[in-house]
A and B are shown apart, each in its own frame.
Chain A
């Protein structure tokens, strides 16, 4: 792993003492005791321009990718922000006490450079007047009423796609609150819809006032959720505005409802959405780095919109209490308690959100985990490509990956490196798409691929693809429904789609009901489903009930989930064991362990039930050749091993996802890696699958001495320390069988690292879930030209060999003297076993020199995976999936080409 310049920037930030306090996205500008308006304005402008420029750079890559999911050209990017002026650290402005109940009036600057063009001012006034009742209802009254000055602020940030989104100053230095707002316009005139949405946002900042919540998950989330809901409320925006253009603004930075399930990953959570070091110091030139920043803003708004679907006045009621005493709500625990009591006040002690008690619901929303969790984190941010599908496009997704490291101060380092994506088919066999998707280069914390999952894998039906991106020592996983959203053959996107994970093989269907209707029996094929529900009632933001039924078990309901959806389509990632309550015990003294399930909480003390100061955790970091100690050990992902030291046997119980029926992929770096068996049964290390680069999975035992070291080592606690009475040290000894939760060191030689795959429980006993039929496939190799054609077949099958297999292979029929293809050994059909790479050397004879021939490879039976063709004379060397075609001019009567097939065992 390389350590980018941002680490140095973070250190520089410390040296300069320029890190802001824990005020989330709210900016502070120190003005001292001076009150010169020009000086203050210059300082404010400098601060917000830097923030806007950095925010633009940090979201550039994600916004560029986002263009492929938005239905129209995205609006200019901007993040409205509150700026607090400070005098030697104290917020400027006398009385900040709440005076809820008063109203805000807007006083627009009418002359001079701070005045807006009259038509634009009219638009903003109209927006405010139209939205005010809705804002009051959703957000509650302003913390303090009175007149707010609104001025024209048009600072350039050097990015044609991004602007300063608007500023709210509770005190502009002359004792007056002020909104500074840009003129959103292009060559065709004002961008009225962009202006309207961003102005609503700024007005809400003015409603909030000078005491923002110190965590972006709440502060940004609340404002974004209400902005989006208000903008969509009929009559809350002027009728002259184009609704679809308003929707485009919301989709760009406020609402990601359709993909919320897919992006709900633990790496999102942070007290501040943009880390202080990335926010406050100029980023390197180039202006295009990555990180989960846009996703954080989108997810926060969407998460709280889910609550508003059930409790429209939730935020208003929350604020009513908060503003009475902001100082009482400065920690995550205090805020969570306030949210719970607010909900209780609205709906009684048994109130739920999406069918879950608030604390449980909150725990599942990664973006709302405002606790600082240092360590390396990786997350995927996928979305389906909907526009421009053609040809063989079936399951085209953009998968963005963010890889970064958070330190104990909350600063984030954007990492650079390489990952090798793994695509798992519905039965957890690895398959490939195209060579460009075989690897993902990440730079500035960001990488992306755009695989097209092929139609042939499930005979044209939707199917589930589990995408693992192992990078460094962490793995990001996405579960995607190939062929279930939009395809070239069915370009109109479905409105309801998703996947099932962790369910045994069987025949399933999905039912969905909403207040105005229902759809039942939506078929699930290969654990994926997609349907076009065009009912306008369905497309509204509302509560849905989704049930998964096992059709081949008398329509038994195997999962019921309530979903508060946003407007438009909905994608779901349905897991069989979502609310798993894990329990167990860790030994006293020093031990090496791993978890058997995936906790929702990312912070180790929350999982282990320890206090931070008594949490002793360590994890070997082969990239740095030393241990990382808590809190820098990151989240306790299943499959990762940790050393822990406890004063007494430690019972642990946490809320999370079971991984019992789902293979766990563990990323391994070159060097020694501490991994742990996440299964509830022992596993033989030699039988685990290992993936190196883009190669097919191979048994651990086969790679020993090549990509892997010859020995793995377990930790054996030593005798009790004479003073503590507990084992404080121990020894490492070779091991071949891993007990549940046992951590071991494995050595990786492969310079690109590797991925270790712990299979399912059932696979561990030697059979596959659901008793899948024996695997096999065959493909035709056809050569056509000069008025004749020839055919041969190659393939792979369980149990076949490289030799002649009567059950699979066939010798070439007697030659008629014309065009003919034979594989080595004179075979018409050559079928080999699964596992590793096979070369099929085909000799084409009977060609007419000078004539042109077309070579075509196409499926004949089953679903062939990826294969390569090398034809030196035709200068062809390609990898393809399913089928391929090229032509050559015969220079002799014979021609040789080589087909390469790589398959997992």
Chain B
């Protein structure tokens, strides 16, 4: 049954006491590396416990939670998790944690029967342009995006029988000038690769709210003649909308499904665009149609 707070506290205390090192090694340690190992096959703590090793020190994961805590020296840290599941062969995963200067909780370190490559792309949510140099962290792996926004994470733990646990793994994206993003995978591996898709970052300073809705819209070209253009929308013989283009050089209509005639003219410059027939098949269809004045 569920553990009450008291029993949880006692277990935690016992568990922590039971985790207190077990290896041998130097005494010049000053920081702690802690985290939680998750076996993707079950989505829970490795049973029996896994062994976590940093340098010449090792510790067993806590049986209930998979948590571990291991002392080490400041500097580059390489962590090895070794696990022998009740069925199947032993697995080992090495995680390069980078340069650690202080005690660090590395979060969830998943291990699984298989290893896959995870790929994706980081883009700007507003422009859909790639974001280079973003840091992507997922499943204990880390990569920076290249100029086209793409990234590749290798040696990612995976288990086709533990997809629920895998889909629950959370990754993060950080990039200068953007709000941090969290994500979870949503596709299983196909031929050894998990596609994380496009991860869209937002800028904190984008304070312009979205426009009003339009399902038939477009730009007026050429841009220097756009402002002041009148765009008329007709249904049958009747003009049902008349839009005067502003400095954004765009027009937009929010209309039901149907067939319409679209006509644009500039009363001051004496220019007009060829009439266009547009058909909205359903109310959720969106048509973008640029009009060029001549």
Q: Which residues of A contact B (CB under 8 A)?
A: 2-5, 8, 61, 284-286, 288-289, 385, 388-393, 396, 408, 416-418, 434, 441, 443-444, 446, 450, 452, 590, 612-616, 618, 620, 625, 627-632, 643, 645, 670-672, 709-711, 713, 715, 721-724, 728-730, 732, 745, 747, 749, 751-752, 874-876, 878, 880-887
Whether B133 sits at the interface, judged by CB under 8 Å, is no
Given contacts A392-B5, A751-B180, 18 further A-B contacts (CB under 8 A): A2-B186, A284-B187, A284-B188, A285-B163, A286-B161, A288-B164, A441-B184, A443-B186, A444-B167, A620-B210, A628-B284, A631-B284, A643-B254, A645-B254, A671-B202, A723-B239, A745-B209, A749-B204
Give me 22 A-to-B residue pairs in the complex whose CB atoms sit less than 8 angstroms apart, sorted by A's number.
A4-B187, A392-B6, A418-B182, A590-B212, A612-B283, A618-B254, A625-B125, A625-B126, A629-B215, A629-B285, A629-B286, A630-B284, A631-B284, A670-B202, A671-B202, A713-B209, A721-B241, A721-B242, A745-B210, A751-B179, A883-B6, A887-B13
- Hey, which chain A residues are within 8 Å of B274, CB to CB? none
Interface residues of B in 142-180 (CB under 8 A from A): 160-164, 166-168, 170, 179-180
Q: Which residue in A391, A625, A752 is a CB contact (below 8 Å) of B7?
A: A391
Using known A-B contacts A286-B162, A670-B179, determine if residue A614 contacts B256 with beta carbons closer than 8 Å: yes
Inter-chain CA distance A729–B250, complex, in Å, is: 13
- Hey, which chain B residues are within 8 Å of A288, CB to CB? 163-164
Inter-chain CA distance A377–B285, complex, in Å, is: 21
Instruction: Give 7 closest A-B pairs by Cβ, nearest first.
Output: A443-B167, A392-B4, A286-B163, A618-B213, A4-B186, A880-B5, A2-B186
Using known A-B contacts A444-B164, A452-B2, determine if residue A724 contacts B126 with beta carbons closer than 8 Å: no
Residue of B nearest to A647 (CB): B256
Let me know if A391 and B202 touch, CB within 8 A: no
Q: Which residue in B69, B170, B207, B283 is a CB contact (below 8 Å) of A629?
A: B283
Contact with A along B194-207 (1 / 0, CB 8 A): 00010010101001
Inter-chain CA distance A393–B1, complex, in Å, is: 8
Interface residues of B in 267-286 (CB under 8 A from A): 282-286
Whether B252 sits at the interface, judged by CB under 8 Å, is yes
Contact with A along B204-235 (1 / 0, CB 8 A): 10010110110100000000000000001100
Using known A-B contacts A416-B186, A590-B212, determine if residue A441 contacts B168 with beta carbons closer than 8 Å: yes
Residue of A nearest to B282 (CB): A408
Whether B240 sits at the interface, judged by CB under 8 Å, is yes
Shortest C-beta distance, B265 to chain A (Å), equals 14
Inter-chain CA distance A390–B239, complex, in Å, is: 73
- Hey, which chain A residues are within 8 Å of B180, CB to CB? 751
Let me know if A752 and B182 touch, CB within 8 A: yes
Inter-chain CA distance A418–B210, complex, in Å, is: 25
Shortest C-beta distance, B112 to chain A (Å), equals 12
Let me know if A629 and B186 touch, CB within 8 A: no
Inter-chain CA distance A286–B207, complex, in Å, is: 43
Let me know if B10 and A616 touch, CB within 8 A: no
Shortest C-beta distance, A23 to chain B (Å), equals 23
Residue of B nearest to A389 (CB): B1
Let me know if A393 and B4 touch, CB within 8 A: yes
Inter-chain CA distance A732–B197, complex, in Å, is: 33
Let me know if A749 and B179 touch, CB within 8 A: yes
Let me know if A883 and B10 touch, CB within 8 A: no
Let me know if B188 and A285 touch, CB within 8 A: yes
Using known A-B contacts A2-B197, A286-B188, A418-B170, determine if residue A396 contacts B2 with beta carbons closer than 8 Å: yes
Inter-chain CA distance A370–B268, complex, in Å, is: 55
Using known A-B contacts A288-B163, A613-B283, A723-B240, determine if residue A886 contacts B5 with beta carbons closer than 8 Å: no
Whether B253 sits at the interface, judged by CB under 8 Å, is yes
Q: Which residue in B7, B162, B209, B285 is a CB contact (below 8 Å) of A672?
A: B209
Shortest C-beta distance, A617 to chain B (Å), equals 8
Inter-chain CA distance A612–B233, complex, in Å, is: 22
Let me know if B209 and A886 touch, CB within 8 A: no
Let me know if B200 and A625 touch, CB within 8 A: yes
Let me know if A878 and B8 touch, CB within 8 A: yes
Whether B91 sits at the interface, judged by CB under 8 Å, is no
Shortest C-beta distance, A603 to chain B (Å), equals 13
Q: Which residue in A416, A616, A723 is a CB contact (below 8 Å) of B256?
A: A616
Most B C-beta atoms less than 10 A away, residue of A4, A285, A286, A590: A286
Let me know if A630 and B254 touch, CB within 8 A: no
Whether B95 sits at the interface, judged by CB under 8 Å, is no
- Hey, which chain A residues are within 8 Å of B240, CB to CB? 723-724
Inter-chain CA distance A612–B167, complex, in Å, is: 37
Inter-chain CA distance A628–B253, complex, in Å, is: 15
B contacts with A: majority SS: loop
Let me know if A884 and B7 touch, CB within 8 A: no
- Hey, which chain A residues are within 8 Å of B2, CB to CB? 385, 391, 393, 396, 450, 452
Residue of B nearest to A446 (CB): B164
Inter-chain CA distance A706–B76, complex, in Å, is: 34
Q: Which residue in B8, B184, B200, B284 is a CB contact (below 8 Å) of A416?
A: B184
Let me know if A884 and B9 touch, CB within 8 A: yes
Let me know if B188 and A886 touch, CB within 8 A: no
Inter-chain CA distance A613–B284, complex, in Å, is: 10
- Hey, which chain B residues are within 8 Å of A886, CB to CB? 9-10, 12-13
- Hey, which chain B residues are within 8 Å of A723, CB to CB? 232-233, 239-242
Let me know if A627 and B164 touch, CB within 8 A: no
Q: Which residue in B163, B202, B243 is a CB contact (below 8 Å) of A443?
A: B163
Let me know if A732 and B183 touch, CB within 8 A: no
Let me know if A884 and B16 touch, CB within 8 A: no
Let me know if B207 and A671 touch, CB within 8 A: no
Q: Which residue in A286, A443, A724 is a CB contact (below 8 Å) of B184?
A: A443
Let me know if A443 and B168 touch, CB within 8 A: yes
Inter-chain CA distance A612–B213, complex, in Å, is: 18
- Hey, which chain B residues are within 8 Å of A747, CB to CB? 207, 209
Shortest C-beta distance, A476 to chain B (Å), equals 18
Inter-chain CA distance A444–B242, complex, in Å, is: 46
Whether B101 sits at the interface, judged by CB under 8 Å, is no
Using known A-B contacts A417-B184, A672-B209, A729-B243, determine if residue A876 contacts B16 with beta carbons closer than 8 Å: yes
- Hey, which chain B residues are within 8 Å of A285, CB to CB? 160-161, 163, 188
Inter-chain CA distance A753–B56, complex, in Å, is: 42
Residue of A nearest to B200 (CB): A625
Whether B185 sits at the interface, judged by CB under 8 Å, is yes
- Hey, which chain B residues are within 8 Å of A751, CB to CB? 179-182
Inter-chain CA distance A710–B179, complex, in Å, is: 15
Residue of A nearest to B65 (CB): A436
Inter-chain CA distance A745–B125, complex, in Å, is: 18
- Hey, which chain B residues are within 8 Å of A284, CB to CB? 163, 187-188
Residue of B nearest to A628 (CB): B284
Shortest C-beta distance, B218 to chain A (Å), equals 15
Most B C-beta atoms less than 10 A away, residue of A416, A443, A450: A443
Residue of A nearest to B252 (CB): A729
- Hey, which chain A residues are within 8 Å of B242, CB to CB? 721-723
- Hey, which chain A residues are within 8 Å of B161, CB to CB? 285-286
- Hey, which chain B residues are within 8 Å of A416, CB to CB? 167, 184-186
- Hey, which chain A residues are within 8 Å of B90, CB to CB? none
- Hey, which chain A residues are within 8 Å of B207, CB to CB? 709-711, 747
Residue of A nearest to B103 (CB): A872
- Hey, which chain A residues are within 8 Å of B210, CB to CB? 620, 627, 672, 745
Inter-chain CA distance A392–B3, complex, in Å, is: 8
Shortest C-beta distance, B267 to chain A (Å), equals 13
- Hey, which chain B residues are within 8 Å of A645, CB to CB? 254
Residue of A nearest to B161 (CB): A286
Residue of A nearest to B204 (CB): A749
- Hey, which chain A residues are within 8 Å of B163, CB to CB? 284-286, 288-289, 443-444
Using known A-B contacts A632-B284, A672-B209, determine if residue A875 contacts B16 with beta carbons closer than 8 Å: yes
- Hey, which chain B residues are within 8 Å of A749, CB to CB? 179, 204
Let me know if B283 and A615 touch, CB within 8 A: yes
Let me know if A728 and B6 touch, CB within 8 A: no
Whether B255 sits at the interface, judged by CB under 8 Å, is yes
Let me know if B168 and A2 touch, CB within 8 A: no
Inter-chain CA distance A874–B188, complex, in Å, is: 42
- Hey, which chain A residues are within 8 Å of B188, CB to CB? 5, 284-286
Contact with A along B87-99 (1 / 0, CB 8 A): 0000000000000
